[in-house]
Structure 1
Amino acid sequence: MKKLVLLLAILLSLVVFAGSFSIPVIAGQVEVPVVVQMGKLVDMLPEDFEPDWTSLRILVEGVEVPFQIEDVDGNGRISAPDYLVFIAKGNTQIVVQDAPGKAVVYPKAFEVVKDSKGWTIKAVDESIEAVVNDHGLLQVTKFGSVKAKLVDEVGIARVSGWYNSTYYVDGKLGDHHEETSGAFRVVSLKVLDPGPVAVCVVAVLKSEKFNGLKQELVTHLFKNGDILVDNRFVFETYADMMKLQTMITRPIIPAFDDTLHILPVFRRLVWADQLNITPYEYWLQRNAITWVDNMPYITFPAGSSMKPLWWGATYIFASMERWRTNFSPKGKIGVAEILPEIPVVPADYKKWLDGDTWVYESLEFRDGVFKWMPGEFEAYPSTTGVYSMKVEDMPNRYKAGDIVQHLRLYSIYSAKSVEEAIKFIEAKSNSFRSLKIGE
């Protein structure tokens, strides 16, 4: 009898003192999406802590919120490549115990239907509609009460370079130059079962033009209109590339003909440097500056070329800033691109041009490497000699195993005015850049 009492006491103590561990997630005061691999989550736990994932909970400011765990590798159990997905703001906690809990089941936020052309996605509350094509590219066709093509081809790759270059062997760039948007064949493509927070598209694509260039595209559409894109270019062999860009096409325009393009003033713009003026002065000359909260913002009609100094792009060879957006005052709706960090602009011009820059052309947001150095660089003293005009010196050279990653947040939002849109995106971008997990 004493042994039985002792055994019960031991078991009771194990239940009472079951361990719990909390991983902090810090963000700003505006909701931002969180996608973290389970393997990385496990690395944040103590080595002697054995989590029971049925006990997992997400608390935002102390209140339990929905989350989902996505079976990315399709093995039917929680494993390292799988994603934990939720929406965070302020002080958020990922809480897990080392004892079994009652697994929670939240209602799904989306319904997904497959057809011959791809997938149709609809929010259960009818607030969002979207389609995914047969290459895993997302198009959003409804947000709130607005039903139109609001953004298309989310995450599409634009690449160019020298096909079969052997420059490192014999100094030759290869057979010829190739350029394409989206000419990738599908290696694998799946739309994961939607959860209470988001629906995820996982696509692995290989370039038809460049041997050994692979695109790994993971896109999450969230119930609040956020689209988190993790785009990885993986090189399996040597390549000389002139362009390596992630894009979205036709954000808001042509759905609304009054659409404006808005962004913080560039820290560097080649055209301004060539004129020996600041980027602010360049856009002021075009009557394209709006002030909000004592800060200047570039604002111009999204469909206008805005009289570029040369070439046809509205802007090119421009520094990547914290965000940019297309916004329709008439539709009171916009699509913003938000960066997870503000890239450094190196003082060395060549080093800057070798990295990622921003282009706005043909109603497309383009992020990434752009290496066509035009003769106009030599026409202005300020940029003469900053880069070699020899074609063989221009490409970015990648070797087997190199990875270029673009993590981008595209957010569909509603606002009553340009001022309100700018204030919202500033707060949203600050929250996204503030996001820290386990620190």
Structure 2
Amino acid sequence: MKRLAILFVGLLALMVFAESVSIPVIAGQVEVPVVLQMGTLSEMIPEDFEPDWTSLKVLVEGKEVPFQIEDVDGNKRVSAPDYLVFIAKGKSEIVVQDTSSKAVVYPKAFDVVKDTKEWIIKAVDGTIEAVVNDHGLVQVTRFGNVKAKLVDEIGIARVSGWYNSTYYVDGKLGDHHEETSGAFRVVSLKVLDPGPVAVGIIAVLKSEKFNGLRQELITHVFKNGDILVDNKFVFETYADMMKVQTMVTRPIIPAFDDTLHILPVFRRLVWADQLNITPYEYWLQRNAVTWVNNMPYIVFPAGNSMKPLWWGATYIFASMERWRSNFSPKGNVGIAEILPEIPVIPADYKKWLDGDTWVYESLEFRDGVFKWMPGEFDAYPSTTGVYSMKVEDMPNRYKAGDVVQHVRLFSLYNAKTVEEAVKFIEAKSESFRNLKIGE
């Protein structure tokens, strides 16, 4: 009897002194992916609290949901570089105690098979399939009932600049100008073990053309069709760059010939400024405006250049907006590119042109720096003198340690109409922009 009493007191002591910490995660009412580095999570925990990671749980609106901790550094224990990955919506929380617990094991959502130079990713339930090439770039080959190449080369780099520029020393741009898409050699590539939520791919690449330019590409393919991309361009030495862009190629088109390009109306478009009209009026002249919920959206055939004012791109020197999408009514499928925040447009035109802008050309979504300033800028009074037409003044100049980072959510979805697609993406993008952890 005495022994039972001691045991009871011991259990009671554990119950009294065991503590837990809850980290709030807030999103909107549509599911969005979360990829959180464990080192960042640790910084959110009070210094006097020693977490036992075996006790970690993720609760979404009060219910436990599957999650995964990815062993990024391969040391077979939870450490700072590892990632906590889950899908959140509404009010969620990450809960961890200071006492050990039997870790919950959830069934994996994907099978991953290495095939010569690529990896084949298949959801266990058959809802999504993808291929990872030998440079860590993802191609989606199935979503739901649609089996086709729906998007390719997610996160591929497009860069251009002046090879071996010494401008900062002697005012000379260097040997010659180089431009390339994907001419990077692999430093390291990992396709992480699939979990109950996603498959992670981590690629570190070095430019073959530009000394000291490194690309760090982290991609997560989620079971719900979300693809979260964190792409960093890291400069290890001085560089004069004309383009530093993150791209995806062939989104939905050419899989479906009726594919439409859809996005909110630009806040700034060089061509509209040159004509002294608004971006809305520019697209209205091309019969490319559709209203949904009393809001105008640009909608046009994805393969149509839409009579650009000059140059061949469908649009260029355009403000980055909250999202853009290619969508096929015939296939009832689309993919949306969603930004984590709506970029501010500086009043200073040159400052805006020095930053990231959007380009849609050759069936590619292109995000980032584009510094080829054509003579057409000075051909229109509205943009005359906004930027120097001297080639030596055009590049963005990066020094060792500078980083250009693009975080993007590419979300596959099903919809029957443009209106249905727009309503879904607006809700999804709002949820993604509202995602806050630990606040």
- Scaled by the length of structure 2, the TM-score of the pair is 0.98
Q: Distance in 1 between matches of 2:238 and 2:332?
A: 47
Amino acid corresponding to residue 213 of structure 1 in structure 2: L
1:233 maps to what in 2?
A: 233
Match of 2:23?
23
**DSSP-derived class of the 2:431 partner:** helix
Question: Partners in 2 of 1:382 and 1:436 — Cα distance?
Answer: 40
Shift of 1:272: 0.1
Which residue identity lines up with residue 284 of structure 1 in the other structure? L
Tell me the SS of whatever aligns to 1:227.
Answer: strand
Find the counterpart in structure 2 of residue 327 from structure 1.
327
Partner of 2:294: 294
Q: 2: CA distance between counterparts of 1:81 and 1:355?
A: 29
Give the partner amino acid of 1:309: L
In structure 1, the gaps of 5 or more residues are: none
Partner of 1:123: 123
Deviation at 1:7, TM superposition (A): 9.0
Match of residue 389 from structure 1? 389
Which stretches of structure 1, 4 residues or more, deviate above 6 A after TM superposition? 1-8
1:40 equivalent to 2:35? Answer: no
Q: Displacement, 1:291?
A: 0.0
Aligned to 2:74: 74
Normalising by structure 1, report the TM-score. Answer: 0.98
In structure 2, C-alpha distance between the alignment counterparts of 1:98 and 1:117, rounded to whole Å: 43
Quote the residue 1:136 is aligned against.
Answer: 136
CA distance in 2, matches of 1:153, 1:3: 66
Distance 1:101 1:3, change over 3 A: closer
* Alignment RMSD: 1.4
Residue aligning to 2:369? 369
2:190 equivalent to 1:190: yes
Query: What pairs up with 1:299-310 in 2 under 5 angstroms?
Result: 299-310=299-310
Q: Give 1:355 deviation, angstroms.
A: 0.1
CA distance in 2 between counterparts of 1:139 and 1:7 reads 58
Question: For the structure 1 residues 103 and 371, does the alpha-carbon distance in structure 2 shift closer, same or farther, using more than 3 Å as the test?
Answer: same
Residue in structure 2 matched with residue 58 of structure 1 by the alignment: 58
Q: Which residue of 1 aligns with 2:338?
A: 338
**d(CA) in 2 for partners of 1:233, 1:40:** 21
* SS of structure 2 residue aligned to 1:232: strand
What per-residue deviation string (whole Å, max 9, x for no partner) do you get for residues 354-404 of structure 1?
A: 000000000000000000000000000000000000000000000000011
Amino acid at match of 1:74: G
- Structure 2 distance, partners of 1:413, 1:306, is 25
Tell me by how many angstroms 1:2 deviates.
9.3
Q: By how many angstroms is 1:13 displaced?
A: 1.2
Residue 252 of structure 2 corresponds to 252
Partner-residue secondary structure (3-state), 1:409: strand
Q: Identity percentage over the alignment? A: 85
- How many angstroms does 1:16 deviate by? 3.3
User: Corresponding residue for 1:273?
Assistant: 273
Distance in 2, Cα, partners of 1:90 & 1:280: 34
Deviations along 1:245-279, whole A, 9 cap, x unmatched? 00000000000000000000000000000000000
The CA distance in 1 between the partners of 2:7 and 2:218, in whole Å, is: 50
Report the 3-state secondary structure (helix = DSSP H, G, I; strand = E; otherwise coil) of the residue aligned with 1:365.
strand
Query: Alignment partner of 2:84: what SS?
Result: strand
> Secondary structure at 1:42's aligned position in 2?
helix
How far apart in 2 are the matches of 1:6 and 1:189? 54
Deviations 1:227-256 (A, max 9, x none): 000000000000000000000000000000
Which whole-Å CA distance do the structure 1 matches of 2:209 and 2:420 have between them?
44
Q: In the TM superposition, what whole-angstrom CA distance separates every residue of 1:295-330 from its partner, at most 9, and x where no partner exists? A: 000000000000000000000000000000000000
Matched, 1:108 2:108: yes
Cα deviation 1:323-362 (Å, max 9, x = unaligned): 0000000000001000000000000000000000000000
How far apart, CA to CA, are the structure 2 residues paired with 1:135 and 1:241? Answer: 23
Q: Does 1:90 align with 2:90?
A: yes
Shift of the alpha carbon at 1:416? 1.2
- 3-state SS, counterpart of residue 256 of structure 2: coil
Secondary structure (helix, strand or coil) at the match of 2:389 reads coil
Unpaired stretches in structure 2, ≥5 consecutive residues? none
Which residue in the other structure is 2:161 paired with? 161
Note closer, same or farther for the CA distance 1:2–1:333 as it changes in structure 2 (3 Å cut): closer
SS where residue 41 of structure 2 aligns?
helix
Tell me the distance in 1 between the aligned counterparts of 2:271 and 2:298: 15
Q: Partners in 1 of 2:10 and 2:171 — Cα distance? A: 75
> Once the 2 structures are TM-superposed, how far is the Cα of residue 4 of structure 1 from its aligned partner?
11
Q: Distance in 2 between matches of 1:436 and 1:14?
A: 33
Distance between the aligned counterparts of 1:309 and 1:96, measured in 2? 57
Amino acid at match of 2:37: Q
Rounded Cα–Cα distance in structure 2 between residues aligned with 1:9 and 1:156: 60
SS at match of 2:304: coil
1:354-433 maps to which residues of 2 (within 5 A)?
354-433=354-433
Q: Give aligned pairs, total.
A: 439
Paired with 1:351 and 1:285, the residues of 2 have a C-alpha distance of 29
Which SS does the other structure have where 1:30 is aligned? Answer: coil
> What amino acid is aligned across from residue 312 of structure 2 in structure 1?
G
Distance in 1 separating the partners of 2:420 and 2:217: 32
Tell me the SS of whatever aligns to 1:432. helix
Q: CA deviation at 1:10?
A: 5.6
Aligned partners of 2:144 and 2:427: how far apart in 1?
A: 21
| In 2: Cα distance, 1:253 partner to 1:412 partner | 14
Alpha-carbon distance in 1 for matches of 2:111, 2:118: 14
Q: CA deviation at 1:27?
A: 0.1
